[in-house]
Amino acid sequence: MHDFYTAKAVLDKVIQTARRHKLERVQKVEIELGRLEDHGEAITPQNLRFNFKLLAKDTVAQKAKLVIRRIPGAYFRVCALEGSGRSLKVKSDKLKIKKHSHKPMSQF
């Protein structure tokens, strides 16, 4: 169940960011995921993806692909969004907006 709450936190950040930047839809979300535990159970990328997809139904992120990069530490953060013709990169809790390119976002 803890994966559900983490997925909700990720989705809330995605929706908030999409609204702020007037994205009609989000196709891709990149996050960094450290080793998070709740009640002795680790949050897994597989469960996080499942819950994100479940929660994203009927939102701007309904068809978004969730890309998870494992990192050391005990936290997660949303790193980038791609949607509606623009790419948004998140650095130090700030968004940098750039024109959408057809290059894979994993090259940053």
pLDDT tens, position by position, 3-62: 888 899 899 999 998 888 888 899 999 998 888 876 678 889 999 999 999 999 999 999
Q: Band the pLDDT of 77: cuts 50, 70, 90.
A: confident
pLDDT of res. 21: 85
The domain limits of the chain are 2-99
pLDDT of res. 63: 94
pTM, entire model: 0.77
Q: Which residues of 48-61 are buried (b: 16+ CB within 10 A; e: fewer)?
A: bbebbbebbeeebb
Architecture of domain 2-99: 2-Layer Sandwich (3.30)
